[in-house]
Amino acid sequence: MKKVAVIGSGISGLSLAHELGEAGVNSILIETLPLPGGNTARFSCKATDSCQRCGACLVQDYVSKICRNDRVELLLNCEILDSRQTAKGYELLLHKNPAFIDHLSCSKCGICKKVCPAPKAILVDPFTGSFFINYSECLLSQNMQCSACEQVCPEQAINLELQPIDENLEVDAVALATGFEAFDPAQKPRFGYGRVPGVLSALDLEEMFRNGRFENLQENDRPSSIAFIQCVGSRDSKIGRNYCSRVCCGYAMRSARLLKFKFPEIKVSMFYMDIQTFDRDFENRIDKASQEVNLIRAIPSEIRSGPSGKPEITYYGVNDQVIQEEFDLVSLSVGMGPATTSLAGILGTIEPRADFYGSNSFNPNNPAFKGAFLTGCALGPKTIQESIDDSVHVASQIEFYLNKQQSGVEVE
């Protein structure tokens, strides 16, 4: 029976594994983190009184589809230590970390998270409310002694004695669905990220949406103004990113609409170079958006703490005059970069690429990469729906490749 390893369980990996299953191909979906969903799971639903087609809800849909699909095996907490090409396909050396929490006993009380000394070691699955130990952040992984969670668990659902297992896996093909890494805005110090209170990255804003933190604010604490700064880490030759991240304008527009829906009084400004709205969601979009959002064609020269302690944006206005304006919140629309978790480490033969579009040498027809495929944001910035489209397409390529292999014909 032919088997495919799909690496990465973000929306691309999930939908690829699902599509392969539908086409009768078995796959193993490998994820380093203890929970599936990847980057997409970090995004919040943008529905106002109707769906805005962001696609964030689809992750969960695919997770439940995967769980019902007999042809997909989901391996969480699993790293790939090494890989090599074989006559048949690829051999991967897997390092399977144990799931220390038994979810049948866990009552989701969350006491373990409260006592854990490492901030990121215990994660909560936003979908199920279950708790997970992220071994790479756990003190145990740094050879320190700690069993705080195990001792405190009222259900005795945690067993830290469990040991990782190393295992070889032979597959006929490998699909990299390693996604993207969000640009770290601290690399652009002039935007004040990490220094100026109130300056958030888009992902921080997502977390606020997801945790309902806006709703929980008292009337007086609710933001009355927010600025979105576009192209932070995109279209920037100084940092070697000569490409547009494609999704951020649509993202900022949706977020703006959601904020306007939640707080009709809020003033939303958007600093941009060119607005990239296309796609059917945004018909007659710019003219419509300009009625809701104050569109400013400028990239701020500096963001610092203003006189009242709020972030103050300095930028050049249309007549070259210097304008300084304070906002309650500033959201930096961070761009997408290739995942640095090193494709090289995953498949020894593949070189890490400087940027998404930099190298076209990766091609499954190239014998060096025979039986290896890329899908979703590993290929370049994509929306959630585009990533799914891509995965359906790659599933068809993989199926074609495996059929050719079966019939003994070499794929040219």
Partner 1 sequence: MGLKLNSYIKKSITITKPKLTEDSQEQRVLVVGGDWIGEEIASRLQKIGLDVTLSAAIATSDADLNQSAPLLTGPIDGQIGQFQATFIESDNHTSKPFGFVIAAQPAKAKERFNLYGLKQSQRVITVSKLLALINEGQPLPERVGEWYHIAFIDDLIGDSEPTVLSQFVDCIERLKSIDKLQAYVFTRHLKVAGPHLEDRYRKLRENGVIFFKFDNNLPTFETQSDSYRILFEEPLLKQDFELTPDLLVIDEELRPPEDLKETFGQLVPFEISEPYLQTESPRFNSVLTSKAGVFAVGPTRGIYDRQSIIQDIETVEFQVKKILDHSKDSRSLAPVVDKSKCAVCLTCVRLCPHGAISFSDSAIISVPSCQNCGICIAECPMGAIAYSQINQLVGANTSNIVKEFNFEDCAGKIVLFLCSRSAAQAFKSIEFIYKDDVVVFEVNCAGSLQTKTILDALNSQASAVLVGGCFKGNCASVYGNILCDNRIQSINQAITGLESNPVGESGKSLIPAGAATLQCQEAKAKVLRFVQTAGNTPEVLMRAISSISQELSDL
Q: Which of residues 155-184 bind partner 1 (CB under 8 A)?
A: 162, 165
When asked if residue 53 is in the footprint of partner 1 (CB under 8 A), the reply is yes
Restricting to residues 278-317, name those near partner 1 by CB under 8 A: 278-287, 297
Of residues 242, 324, 340, 359, which one binds partner 1 by CB under 8 A? 242
Amino acid of residue 389: D
When asked if residue 57 is in the footprint of partner 1 (CB under 8 A), the reply is yes
Restricting to residues 85-124, name those near partner 1 by CB under 8 A: 96, 98-100, 102-104, 107-108
Residue 267: both structure tokens together: 């003033």
Of residues 28, 33, 196, 244, which one binds partner 1 by CB under 8 A? 244
Nearer to partner 1, 85 or 97 (CB): 97
Residue 282: both structure tokens together: 């945004």
When asked if residue 195 is in the footprint of partner 1 (CB under 8 A), the reply is no
Restricting to residues 317-336, name those near partner 1 by CB under 8 A: 318-319
In sequence order, what are the beta bridge partners of 334? 232
Amino acid of residue 241: R
Q: Smallest gap, in angstroms, from Cβ of residue 380 to partner 1?
A: 6
When asked if residue 136 is in the footprint of partner 1 (CB under 8 A), the reply is no
Restricting to residues 10-49, name those near partner 1 by CB under 8 A: 15, 22-24, 34, 36, 44-45, 47, 49
In sequence order, what are the beta bridge partners of 329? 226
Of residues 4, 14, 59, 205, which one binds partner 1 by CB under 8 A? 59
Region of residue 327 (left: phi > 0; alpha: psi -120 to 50; beta: else): beta
What is the chain's Cα-based Rg?
A: 23
The total number of residues written for the chain in this structure: 412
Helices (H), 154-247: 202-210, 213-216
Nearer to partner 1, 64 or 86 (CB): 64
Three-class secondary structure of residue 248 per DSSP: helix
Restricting to residues 342-361, name those near partner 1 by CB under 8 A: 357
Site string for partner 1, 384-403 (x = CB under 8 A): xx--xxx-xx-xxx-x----
When asked if residue 8 is in the footprint of partner 1 (CB under 8 A), the reply is no
CA dist., res. 82 & res. 347, Å (int): 7
Nearer to partner 1, 198 or 337 (CB): 337
List strands edge to edge, sheet with 302-305: 302-305, 311-316, 322-326
When asked if residue 404 is in the footprint of partner 1 (CB under 8 A), the reply is no
Which residue in 381, 378, 362 sits closest to 235, CA to CA? Answer: 381
When asked if residue 222 is in the footprint of partner 1 (CB under 8 A), the reply is no
Side-chain half-sphere CA neighbours of 173 within 13 A: 31
Do residues 124 and 130 make contact, with C-beta atoms less than 8 angstroms apart? yes
